[in-house]
Structures are given as C-alpha cells and as structure tokens.
Amino acid sequence: MNRINRRGLLRGAAATAGVTLASPYLARRAMAQGAGQVNIFAWEGYLTEEILTAFREATGITPNFTGYGTNDELLNQLRANNGAGFDLIWPTVDRVPNYVEFGLVQPIDESRIEVDRVLPSAWENSTNLGAVVDGQRFQVPTDWGTEAIAYDTEQMPLEYGTASYGDIWNNENAQATVRGHSSLIGLGLWLEAEGRLPRPLLDAFTDEQAQVEIFDVILAEAIERKGRIIQFWTNENEAQGAFRVNGANIGQTWDSTAAALAREGLPVGFIAPREGALAWMEGLSIPSGAANVDEAYEFINWFLTPEAGAMYTNATSINSTAVGSDQLISDEARAFFAAAYPGDALEKLWWWPIQENWYVTRRNEYQDRFLSA
C-alpha cells in the first residue's frame, strides 16, 4: 500500500486567511440551477457552521447537517430508512462493503468527480480498503486520521519510540479510557508485538475461526486488565469527557479527541505508539435513496478544494485528502500533526482492514463480553 504522504506539511506555507471557497465553475452552475439543498449525515463535529456557510455561499445550495457518533449508528439508521432520508453519508472506508451488501449506497459516477483534486495515494489505496466493491466505486475518499494514544502530559508523559498500547494495559498508574471494540485491537497489537497471539492479528479479518482463536486470547487479557479502565467511550463527547471531568490520564482515542482537549488548554498530547497508530480513511457516499444527487456531487467536489480541506483540518485536526490543503492549514494543525507522527510513525500506520458483516457481528459479541465482565 502506498503511504499517504503529508510530510509536505512540515515544509509548508503559513496559514491562509480570508480565502474564497467558490470556484467559478461551481458558482456559475449554482446560479444557473437555482438554490437547492443537500442532506448530509456525518460524524458529530465534522461540519462546523463555518464550513456549512462557506459551502452555501460558494454554491447557493443549502446544506442540512445531521450528526451521528458511531459507524454502527449510521448503518442502523440507513437500514431503518432503506437507504433514504439523506443525500450523503460519511462512513469509514473499511465499512463501505457493509452498505453495499445491504443495497444502501449507489455506485459513484466517477465522471462527475474532480478526481485530480484527491491525493493519488488516497484514491488508489481506498480501492483496496473498501471503497471499491466488485469493480464499482461507492465512496470518494475525503479524509484520514488515526486512533492512537491520548495522554496527560503531566501525569503520564510519553515519548515516541517507547510509547505503546501496553501503557494503557500494563501501567499501574493508568486511569484509562478506551472504546470497547477498537481497544481489543490495540491490545491485540501489543500482545502480537510481545509474541503472545496464536497467529497474526490480520487473520482475524479474513477467517472467522481465526478471529475466534485470536479474540479469545485478547479478551482474556482485556478482562484481566479491565481495572485500568475508568471509562469506556463510544463517541467523541464521551472520549473528551473522560479526560475533562472523569480523571482519565491516558486513553486510546481518535486524534480529534486529543486535539480538541488541547485547544481547551488541557495538558493532553497525542502520539502514535510503537506498534503503529490505527489508521482509518473516510469519505462521502451517496445513499441509494438520495433525493438530491446533483447537489451531493456538488458538495463532494467542493469539499475536495484545498480551501475547504484546510478549513476542515483546522476545525478537526483530521487530515484532508484534498490536494494542496496541507499548504493552507493553520500552524496549530501543523504542529499537532508533527507531534503525533514523528520519526517513522507514518510508515508504521496500521490501516484498518475491511470489516465484513460477519467480522463486525463477532467483534461486537467480544466487545459485549468485555464490557459486561
């Protein structure tokens, strides 16, 4: 897999303010068509009022944003609606085949996508990560980020090269917050590095019997060490709250969690562990029952402009796949990226494999056993 390269960030230009986000093509088309609307179902916190306003001013299209907190919440809502109710959704790429299996998303018309606006590495790698099923593309990659280690810089200082998922599970001073299912993968990566798994962790994603063999070992360790966990999280607000009000000093969280806490002035850092940060890619898909398809394509292409991509990264500290956006991001976002992925951290990213429905079903069973133990 080709690495998604944002090392250009560290060379890059200073933050750019006051840029216009309306491309002439979009503006002309919007005026010709008249005002429309697009209904977007996306992760909470992804589309700020600034972003929504910029899109509306650029295109004349009114964006209606509804937020969700988990991939499962998104999938369950779309299944309940039989693929209707929204014009765009924002799943992680490894879950896209789930939507295809249930007939909930429609193929992307690549002739309507400004493909040259997307980082070539993101477009290419998304093919094998889940965006393309049976030769048809069902998602346009728009952003990527990681789940790694958030830590209290005063109580639990960590450094790259020695920081490990084991710091969550094997440190007697840990007061940790983790997400049920993904924490089992982080623990698994630590156990794998210690030579304590019966077979490679990746086998769990391709063979159900292998998943059972591997997760049995991981679950036993997780239950034994559960006393380190002071709060489980399922969404962004819960993960932030663990540090903000519930006393967490370390956790396996999203990059955006640590970045938001740091912006509040809390002593929270974010670092890729030596086993590799859990990397995910996301993108925009069009539900099978979308009512405003033209407007959906307008939003996708607008979101892939450098200016929109930079605005998104500045708001979330999640990395845009828009070509040139790294040259426009804020100094704060640039510094966060450099601190999170020093040295060879980008080469060691652990990309989430495709999570087929059988895997998710069994994964959730192990998660429930962990939570209830």
- Please list the ranges in the chain whose pLDDT falls under 50: 1-33
pLDDT at 104: 98
Q: Are residues 62 and 189 in the same domain?
A: no
pLDDT cut 90: percent of the chain above it: 91
Closest CA to 182 of 94, 313, 283: 94
pLDDT at 25: 41
pLDDT at 259: 95
pLDDT at 119: 97
Q: Which residues touch 159 (CB under 8 Å, ≥6 apart)?
A: 271
Q: Are residues 101 and 213 in the same domain?
A: no
First to last CA, the chain: 38
Rounded CA gap, 74 and 210, in Å? 28
Q: Are residues 138 and 253 in the same domain?
A: no
The CATH number given to whatever domain includes residue 74 is 3.40.190.10
Q: Which domain holds residue 41?
A: 7-142+281-343
pLDDT at 348: 97
Q: Which residues touch 178 (CB under 8 Å, ≥6 apart)?
A: 168, 186, 229, 232, 233, 251, 252
Q: What is the DSSP letter of 249?
A: -
pLDDT at 27: 42
Q: Are 118 and 323 in contact (CB under 8 A)?
A: yes
Residue whose pair of structure tokens reads 């991939």 in the numeric block: 71
pLDDT at 153: 98
Q: Are residues 110 and 248 in the same domain?
A: no
